[in-house]
Amino acid sequence: MGNDWREQERAQAQERKKREQERHERSLARAGAREEIAALRAELAMLREKHESLSALVRDTLNTTTDTLCTLADERREQRAEIDDLKLAVARLGASPEAKRAAFQFAREKSNVEPVDLPDFIRKVH
């Protein structure tokens, strides 16, 4: 019985040692996990900050691009209007001389002006 009791004591001691070793390993694993979690949280915070920074940069870039495109569209409309004005002026200047002569009217021939007789200079001299 003495041997059985000693073997039992030894088995219990080994079992306790094994449980202590397992506890110690779990404790180390928890400590390592806590450190890893802390590092991951720090990295997450850094990534969130970078994300916010990049989001702001993209937003500003898009706003600037939109403003630029609107400005270009306004300038194009203004140029179109100027080109149309120039085309009209060129068309007026470039009308054929025949058309100008045909469109010419003496004052007495115009319908909105009352005809006036010309002065008689010959009778006044004699």
Distance between CA atoms of residues 118 and 122, nearest Å: 12
Task: Report pLDDT digits (tens) over 39-50.
Answer: 999 999 999 999
Q: What is the pTM of this model?
A: 0.47
Task: Report pLDDT digits (tens) over 70-125.
Answer: 999 999 999 999 999 998 888 877 666 666 666 666 655 666 666 666 677 776 55
* Run of H or E residues at 80: helix 2-93
Quick one: average pLDDT of 53-72? 97
Residue 95 near residue 101, CB atoms below 8 Å: no
Q: Flag whether pLDDT at 69 surpasses 60.
A: yes
Distance between CA atoms of residues 79 and 82, nearest Å: 5
Cβ within 8 Å of residue 115, ≥6 positions away? 107, 108
